[in-house]
Structures are given as C-alpha cells and as structure tokens.
C-alpha cells in the first residue's frame, strides 16, 4: 500500500527532524544553560503554570456560566451580541490584547493574569454557547414534554450533550493561553517567556531554548492530557461525534 509507505515516510521524517534538532542543539551546547540553572527553570516553569492555571481557571469559571446564562430562553434574544463580541475579540491578536491591557493597568503580575483571563474567556464562551445551541431541539422538547424542570433540562440534557463543545473550547483556550503566557513576561508577568526574550535580546541560543523547549513541551503535554480528560468526561453516547 503506497499510503502506508507515505505514512511511514512522514512519521520517520518527523522523528528524524526532532531527534536531529535535539542532537544538534546538544552538540551546540544549548542545553548547558538548563543544566546549569535548574532552579531558575523550575521557578519560571512554576510561575508560568500559575499564570496559566489561574487565568484559565477564572476564565472557565466566568465563561461557562455566562454561556449558560445567555442561552436561557429569556436572554436568547441577546446571544448574538455576545457571540459577535467573542468573535471580534478573538480576531484581535493576543499581543495587542496584552499591550492594550498593559497600557491601562500598567506592568505587573495582576495585569498579566487579567489579560490572559480575558483572552482565554472568548473561545470557552463561544463554544459553550454553540454547544448548548446545537443540542437537538427535539431532545429538549422531549425532556420538557416528559416533565423535566428547566434545571433538570440544563443538567441532564443540555450540559451533557454540549460537553464535547465546551471541553474542546476549554482545551483550545488553555493551549493558546500557554503560548500567550510566554508573552506575559513583556508586561511583567514572568514565566518562561523570560528565558526566550532574554535569549533573543542577548542572542544566546542556550537561554532561548531553555524557555522555548519547555514551553512547547508544556503546550503539547497539556493538549494531550486535556484530550484524554475529554474522552473520559464526555458521555459515552456522544463519542461517535468526536471521531
């Protein structure tokens, strides 16, 4: 099968690129900085995780209830305002959001958390609304007709059936947030961006990679873990949709 061959070629090529990059970086002495400064790396990694964790957590805490709220029959008329707001907000580049927030709130950790929180909010909000609104109307009709209270319709029908979209929104948002948090250094938030930007300005490959490699691994790992979590949380009856 030529397809199979192609697949192997692509896969082998990818591995080769990664291994040769790491090998080359090692030979070039790029990992010496990490080996020499493990404490600093751990400190910045912790700071990065705290930035991402706090802002993403707060984003979920606000976006999901807001999405639920705006899809209630009483407020459904206004959902287009929120959807358009979220769409426009996501079109604005992340660096621009960070810069704008900084220009009003000044440099600092709180500014960084606020900016990251705001930027993380939008994909979750959008997916929550889209997920709830895409639940088959006949399912809601049947639930109502069988005598479910509005709260039961929300918890037993709408949220389980929208869980795929909501979790996908949280996953996307968190992975983007890890990358955006690398920019948070610029507005005084710290994190692994410290190494990357210091490395760039000093033109020092070792310091640069000490930030770039961990932040990449972090993003890929978190993406993978959240993907696993998704599979676990989403009701089994919906798994066919995600394939």
Partner 1 sequence: MIQFNNVTKVYQSGDKEVKAVNRVNLSVEKGEICVLIGPSGCGKTTLLRMVNRMIEATEGLIEVNGENIQSLDSIQLRRSIGYVIQQTGLFPNMTIEQNVSVVPRLLGWDRVKIQHRYNELMDMMGLDPDEYRNRYPWELSGGQQQRIGVARALAADPPVMLMDEPFGALDPVIREHLQNEFLRIQKTVKKTILFVSHDIDEAIRLGDAIAIFNAGELMQYGTPNEILSNPRNEFVSQFVGSDRTLKRLNLLTVDDLLQRVAAVRQKKQKSYKEACGGSTVRRDSDLRNALSVLLSSPTGAAAVVDEEGNAFGNITIADFERLVEVHPAQLKSIVQ
Partner 2 sequence: MELLEFFQQHWGEMLAKTLEHIQLVGLAVGLSILIGVPFGIYISQKERLANLVLAVAGVIMTIPSIALFGIMIPILSIINHGIGFLPAFCALVLYSQLPIIRNTYVAVKNVDANIRDAAKGMGMTTRERLIRVEIPMALPVIMAGVRMAVILTIGIAAIAAYIGAGGLGDYISRGISTSYTTMVQAGALSVSVLALGSDFLLGQIQRWISPRTADSK
Check if the beta carbon of residue 104 is closer than 8 Å to that of residue 58. no
The residue (of 157 and 182) whose beta carbon lies closer to partner 2 is 182
- Nearest CA among 215, 227, 150 for reference residue 179: 215
Q: How far is the CB of 11 from partner 2 (least distance, A)?
A: 7
Residue with tokens 């976006």: 63
Q: Of partner 1, partner 2, none, which one sits near residue 223, judging by CB under 5 to 8 A according to partner kind?
A: partner 2
- Measure the CA–CA gap between 162 and 111, rounded to whole angstroms: 32
Query: Nearest approach, Cβ of 71 to partner 2 (angstroms)?
Result: 21
Which of partner 2, partner 1, none has residue 19 at its interface (CB below 5 to 8 Å by kind)?
none
| Rounded least distance, CB 77 to partner 1, Å | 16
Least Å distance, CB 126 to partner 1, is 22
CA atoms within 13 A on the CB side of 82: 23
Residue nearer to partner 1 on the CB measure, 134 or 221: 134
Choice between 227 and 235, CB closer to partner 1: 235
Indicate which of partner 1, partner 2, none lies near residue 220 (CB less than 5 to 8 Å, by partner kind): partner 2
187 neighbors 119 (Cβ within 8 angstroms): no
Smallest distance from the beta carbon of 162 to partner 1, in angstroms?
Answer: 10
Question: Is there a contact between 241 and 161 (Cβ–Cβ < 8 Å)?
Answer: no
Q: Which does 141 bind (CB under 5 to 8 A by kind): partner 2, partner 1, none?
A: partner 1
154 backbone dihedrals φ, ψ, rounded to 5°: -65, -50
Minimum CB distance to partner 2 smaller for 136 or for 221:
221
List the single partner that 60 binds among partner 1, partner 2, none, CB under 5 to 8 Å by kind. Answer: none
CB of 51 closer than 8 Å to CB of 194: no
In the complex, the smallest distance separating the C-beta of residue 102 from partner 2, rounded to whole angstroms, is 7
Q: Which does residue 102 touch among partner 2, partner 1, none (CB within 5 to 8 A, set by kind)?
A: partner 2
Q: Which is nearer to partner 1, 42 or 233 (CB)?
A: 233
Instruction: Give me the residues that bind partner 1 (CB under 8 A), please.
Output: 136, 138-139, 141-149, 152, 156-157, 160-161, 163, 235-238, 240
Q: Could you tell me the CA-to-CA distances from 146 to 132, 135, 150 in Å, in that order?
A: 20, 17, 12
Residue 208: phi and psi, rounded to 5, are: -60, -50
Contacts of 75 (CB under 8 A, 6+ apart): 69
H/E element, 240: helix 239-242
């Amino acid at each position: 099968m030529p397809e199979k061959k192609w697949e192997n070629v692509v896969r082998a090529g990818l591995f080769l690129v990664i291994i040769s990059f790491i090998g080359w970086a090692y030979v070039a002495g790029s990992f010496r900085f990490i080996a020499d400064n493990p404490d600093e790396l751990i400190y910045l990694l912790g700071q990065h995780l705290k930035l991402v964790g706090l802002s993403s957590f707060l984003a979920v805490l606000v976006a999901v209830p807001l999405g639920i709220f705006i899809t209630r029959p009483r407020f459904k008329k206004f959902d287009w305002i929120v959807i358009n707001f979220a769409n426009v907000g996501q079109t604005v580049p992340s660096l621009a959001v960070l810069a704008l927030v900084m220009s009003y709130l000044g440099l600092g950790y709180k500014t960084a958390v606020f900016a990251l929180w705001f930027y993380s909010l939008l994909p979750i909000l959008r997916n929550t609304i889209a997920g709830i609104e895409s639940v088959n109307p006949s399912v809601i009709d049947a639930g109502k007709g069988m005598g479910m209270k509005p709260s039961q319709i929300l918890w037993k029908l709408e949220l389980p059936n929208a869980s795929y979209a909501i979790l996908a929104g949280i996953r996307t948002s968190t992975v983007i947030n890890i990358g955006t948090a690398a920019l948070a250094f610029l507005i005084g938030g710290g994190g692994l961006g410290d190494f990357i930007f210091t490395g760039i300005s000093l033109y020092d490959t070792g310091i640069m990679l000490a930030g770039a490699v961990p932040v990449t691994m972090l993003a890929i790992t978190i993406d993978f873990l959240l993907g696993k979590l998704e599979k676990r949380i989403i009701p089994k009856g919906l798994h066919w949709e995600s394939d």
